[in-house]
Chain A
Amino acid sequence: MQTGQVGWADSSVRAAGRRNRFFRHASPYFLIFPSIALMAAIILVPLVRGIIMSFNSVNIIKQGEMHFVGLQNYAQMISDPVFHIALRNTAIWTLGVVSLQYLLGLVVALLLNEPIPLRGLFRGLVLVPWVVPSVVAALDWRWIYAPDYGILNYVLSSIGVISDPLQWLSDRHLAMLAVIIVGVWKSTPFMAVVLLAGLQSIPKELYDAAEVDGASMLQRFWYITFPNLRYLSMIVTMLAIIWTFNDFDIAYVMTKGGPSNATHLLSTYAYLSAFTYSDLGYAAAISVVMLVILLVFAIFYSRMLTKGNELA
């Protein structure tokens, strides 16, 4: 407060003091208020409305007019064969992508942690799939998988692995594998970078001591690297599982769930139910089931996490 008038100084200092105290208590709430307002409007309220919708039949044409149907949407899932397929596919997709992504990411991180020439260049190149937007990745791979002029069939047939071109995305038995490959390709860089950061935070003295004691490379990995990475690995795989489970873009752009539902995930099935079959209530119910699965998983997993952390 700069009033410049001597007579005012005393009271204005006191007023400023009061104001400061007020601001000290109130200001964090002012600061987070815009975030809270946005998240209430776009996340919390829609979340609650989404859950309510799952107990209603919703008319998309009449601006989302609802009428209550109880558990009917949930009952419909039990007898819906496509839902069962999508549930199973989502499990295969999530486990497939995350486990391969972790293994590959770990290998890449270990390699990048070695003292080699051009390490910075390699690290930059490894990030490329992460940088490519997922829609572009899906389109790019559709071109690679193309049965007639696609490069993958050409490479496989020229090295003699296959004799006839494979219908990667229209063969029921191959489509899921093809989509999983894209998921792994897209997500491995992130995993590798995080694990690399973890590797670099392990004190070097541990390795030196182990080497003096005559530990082999495998022993060093098993007794030093792996235990030190465990906590970080659990956090990052939990994130990866949530992201992969919720992923929509790759499966939707590559196959729209086809051929004959072979790659339908819960996310793509819920989306099509909502916006192609205009059954918003049923779609909401499917996605509420997704949320419940994730919540149960997260609670179970974070229990394991705290327990594992106490042991270590």
Chain B
Amino acid sequence: MARRLRIKQAIVLTLLIIIVTILVFPFIWMLSTAFKGPEEVFTQIPRWIPLKPTLMNFNTILFNTSFPRYFLNSVVVGMVTMVIALAVTIFAGYALSRYNFRGKTAFSMWLLVSQMFPPVLMIIPIFVLMLQLKLVNTYASLIITYATFALPFSTWMLKAYFDTVPIDLEEAAKVDGCNQFQALTKIILPLAAPGIVTVALFIFILAWHEFMFALTLTSTTEMRTLPVGISLFLGEYRTLWGQLMAGSVIVTAPVVVFFVYLQRYIVQGLTLGAVKG
């Protein structure tokens, strides 16, 4: 019996190692290429680990391209989007969690249904709207759009987190003389803090990753965000893959750091939202 278990475990491990290797490989290859000089990038016999690792690619994109500007734009857009979307969704999530009101079902349904609208259908009228408001090629156009598209899932997630805070605590606070607003800020928010941080990071990542709206709503180097900026590194005939991969590493790194922190919440959050359904 013990032996059978051990054989089974060995099979499971082997399969897992094969699959995980395939899943992680493209990322490793990106890292590896980022640290290679051109003579090692363009070679017939590629190597896993660069023979002569170099920071040259990072050096070039950080000091000789518009990459730092793209980075700054992405950070500004991501942060402001996060603050606005969070402020708006904390209230909405709280309302969904604590109140029964006319139109609640309709509101929840709308949140769900809005997930289905093809972004490409939305972008055409949004582009025209921004054109009319003279907001094309500004941070504002991206921030407003991202904050809105972040609303449905953030509201749902926050509602799920607020649901886990017992209503008794709030009522006790009210007996002690807190009003509704104080009950929210002093009781609910601190208790739901891990959930709020998770949602905040999800919103930031949504803005950090977004490509299509950024491609359409910005037009100059000064306003481009990272995903669009980096896609411009693709050469018409020949691409400098070392630099492109170095840029990719910088774009991906902050998200990886967030996810290391988030990992324990992700499964939990998904269970809260999805399985309970």
Contact = CB atoms under 8 A, between A and B. Distances in A.
A38 B88 contact: yes
Contacts of A139: 230-231, 233-234, 244, 248
A289 B203 CA distance: 29
A102 to B, nearest CB: 15
B126 interface: yes
Contact of B92 (A32, A142, A266): A32
Contact of B95 (A28, A232, A245, A290): A28
Interface in B147-202: 147-149, 151, 155, 180
B13 A116 contact: yes
A133 B251 contact: yes
B7 interface: no
Interface string A157-201: 000000000000000000000000000010011000110111011
A28 B101 CA distance: 7
Q: Which of A32, A196, A253 has the most CB of B within 10 A?
A: A32
A29 B106 CA distance: 13
A50 B23 CA distance: 39
Contact of A27 (B99, B121, B271): B99
A97 interface: no
Given A34-B91, A116-B16, A143 B244 contact: yes
Contacts of B125: 45-47, 49-50, 53, 284
A47 B271 CA distance: 32
B231 A253 contact: yes
A128 B129 contact: no
A133 B16 contact: no
A208 interface: no
B258 to A, nearest CB: 8
B41 A32 contact: no
Interface of B: 8-9, 12-13, 15-16, 19-20, 23-24, 26-27, 29-30, 33, 41-46, 87-89, 91-92, 94-96, 99, 101, 104, 107, 110, 114-129, 131-132, 144-145, 147-149, 151, 155, 180, 208-209, 211-212, 216, 227-228, 230-231, 233-234, 239, 241, 244-245, 248, 251-252, 255-256, 259-260, 263, 266-267, 270-271, 274-275, 277
Interface of A: 23, 25, 27-32, 34-36, 38-39, 41-43, 45-47, 49-50, 53, 58, 60, 63-64, 104, 107-108, 111-112, 114-117, 122-129, 131-137, 139-144, 146, 148-149, 151, 154, 185, 188-189, 193-194, 196-198, 200-201, 232, 235-236, 239, 242, 245-246, 248-249, 252-253, 266-267, 270-271, 274-275, 280, 283-284, 287-288, 290-291, 294-295, 298
In order of increasing CB-CB distance, the 4 nearest A-B pairs are A287-B121, A64-B128, A46-B125, A31-B95
23 contacts: A30-B91, A31-B92, A32-B107, A34-B88, A38-B147, A43-B122, A47-B122, A64-B131, A114-B12, A116-B16, A122-B16, A131-B255, A132-B255, A143-B244, A144-B29, A197-B270, A242-B115, A248-B212, A252-B211, A270-B121, A271-B120, A280-B124, A283-B124
Given A25-B101, A45-B125, A133-B211, 19 more contacts: A27-B180, A32-B91, A32-B92, A38-B147, A38-B148, A45-B129, A116-B16, A125-B23, A135-B230, A139-B231, A140-B27, A140-B29, A143-B245, A149-B42, A242-B116, A248-B119, A266-B120, A290-B120, A291-B118
